């Protein structure tokens, strides 16, 4: 479903690579946790997957389609939730969601149904008529999440998705992620909250200084220990 092949990326004239020769495969219906310390290369990898950053070396395939060759087709299958919900403050909440639905060509019936459903789950349905500039950070985050879900993506890429969310919304998002997986959606997400990663993910990858230092099934990787201990051992 999502295949990262020998992906490398460096910034500017820097000879040191931010991500070096990364190989990963995320299967259909799988939740993959991507962890690493600050500056390890998580966001660089995510930005390359979703088409924000260009790929220096290697390739990224979505459903066997190269993002380098056919970015638009790949993006149609994906959704991205960034760590900072910077969105158009001049639009209303509903205006933003309708904008996203228009871009992904979601039918009116489906968009109305999904927006209503998710807006009620995240308890922002009453605020959809207000300008986004009046929203709190958490509300913007919820709106970005709804925007990412309304076109029913095959792959969901999330960068620190729980930052700024209240406990109820965090709980709801986790449930949504599990439900999407059951329906066959692949989820790739980065987080510093290792307890969440441990409970939610089928597989996990640990990145350090741009290199994948561990990757595998959650149970196999951590054995009898918890993910935090493994992470600290590997990063010593």
Partner 1 sequence: MKMLWLLLKTNIINSLKINKILKTSKMKLVMYSLVVIGLSVSFFTSIFLSAIDVVVLFYQYNLINLMLVVFFVMASFITFFFTIYNAKGSLFNANDNNMLLSMPIKSSVILASRLISLIIFNLLTILIFMVPVIIAYITKVNVNFNDYLFIFTIFILLPIIPTILASLFGYLVAYIASKSNNKSMIELLMSFLFIIVFVYISNSSNQILTYVIKNLNSLENIIKWSFYPIYLVYKAFMEYDYLSLVLYIVINVSLFLIFITILSKSFKRIIAKLHESKTKSNYQMKHLKASSIKKTLLIKEIKRYFSSPIYLLNTSFGVLMLIVFALSSIFFAKEQLLEFLDLSANSITSFQIVLLGVAFITFMSSTTSSSISLEGKNFWLLKTLPITPKQIISAKVWLNLLVVLPLTFLAIIIFKFTLLLTITEVLIIMLVAFLFTICAAQFGLLINLKFPKMDASSDTAVVKRSISSVISLCVPLVLIIILINIYTQLSNNINFNIFLLIIMVSVFIIIIIEKILLNTWGVKRIRKID
Binding site for partner 1 (CB under 8 A): 13, 47, 50-54, 72-73, 75-76, 78, 80, 82, 84, 86-91, 93-95, 98-108, 111-112, 115-116, 119, 125-131, 133-135
Q: What is the CA radius of gyration of the chain?
A: 18
Rounded to a whole number of angstroms, the minimum distance from the CB of residue 235 to partner 1 is 27
Rounded to a whole number of angstroms, the minimum distance from the CB of residue 16 to partner 1 is 16
Rounded to a whole number of angstroms, the minimum distance from the CB of residue 46 to partner 1 is 10
Give every strand in the sheet of 155-159, ordered side by side. Answer: 78-81, 155-159, 186-190, 31-36, 203-208, 211-217
Q: Which is nearer to partner 1, 42 or 203 (CB)?
A: 42
The three-class DSSP label of residue 126 is helix
Rounded to a whole number of angstroms, the minimum distance from the CB of residue 112 to partner 1 is 6
Strands 155-159 vs 78-81: parallel, antiparallel or unpaired: parallel
Rounded to a whole number of angstroms, the minimum distance from the CB of residue 6 to partner 1 is 20
Q: DSSP of 56-110, one letter per residue?
A: SEEEEEETTEETTT-HHHHHHHEEEE-SS----TTSBHHHHHHHHHHHTT--HHH
Taking each helix axis from N to C terminus, what angle separates 93-103 and 108-121, rounded to the nearest 10 degrees? 140
Q: Which is nearer to partner 1, 85 or 227 (CB)?
A: 85
CA distance 187 to 63: 14
Rounded to a whole number of angstroms, the minimum distance from the CB of residue 68 to partner 1 is 11
Q: Which is nearer to partner 1, 83 or 211 (CB)?
A: 83
Q: Which is nearer to partner 1, 26 or 106 (CB)?
A: 106
Q: Which is nearer to partner 1, 134 or 229 (CB)?
A: 134
Helix (H) or strand (E) run with residue 23 in it: strand 19-26
Q: Which is nearer to partner 1, 159 or 198 (CB)?
A: 159
Contacts of 181 (CB under 8 A, 6+ apart): 29, 30, 31, 187
Closest by Cα among 58, 59, 46 to 190: 46
Rounded to a whole number of angstroms, the minimum distance from the CB of residue 95 to partner 1 is 7
Q: Which is nearer to partner 1, 52 or 232 (CB)?
A: 52
Closest by Cα among 56, 132, 124 to 90: 132
Cα end-to-end span (Å), the chain: 33
């Amino acid at each position: 479903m999502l295949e990262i092949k020998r992906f490398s990326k460096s910034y500017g004239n820097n000879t040191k690579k931010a991500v070096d020769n990364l190989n990963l495969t995320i299967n259909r219906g799988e939740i993959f946790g991507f962890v690493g310390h600050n500056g390890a290369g998580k966001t660089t990898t995510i930005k390359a997957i979703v088409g924000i950053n260009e790929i220096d070396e290697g390739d990224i395939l979505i459903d066997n389609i190269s993002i380098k060759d056919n970015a638009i087709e790949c993006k149609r299958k994906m959704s991205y939730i960034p760590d900072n919900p910077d969105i158009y403050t001049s639009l209303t909440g509903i205006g933003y969601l309708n904008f996203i639905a228009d871009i992904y060509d979601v039918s009116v019936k489906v968009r109305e149904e999904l927006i209503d459903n998710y807006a009620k789950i995240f308890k922002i349905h009453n605020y959809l008529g207000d300008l986004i500039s009046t929203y709190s950070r958490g509300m913007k985050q919820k709106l970005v999440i709804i925007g990412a879900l309304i076109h029913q993506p095959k792959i969901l890429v999330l960068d620190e998705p729980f930052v700024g969310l209240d406990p109820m919304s965090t709980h709801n998002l986790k449930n949504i992620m599990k439900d999407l997986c059951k329906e066959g959606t692949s989820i790739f997400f980065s987080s510093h909250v290792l307890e969440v990663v441990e409970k939610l993910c089928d597989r996990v990858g640990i990145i350090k200084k741009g290199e994948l230092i561990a990757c595998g099934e959650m149970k196999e990787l951590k054995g009898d220990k918890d993910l935090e201990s493994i992470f600290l051992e590997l990063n010593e």
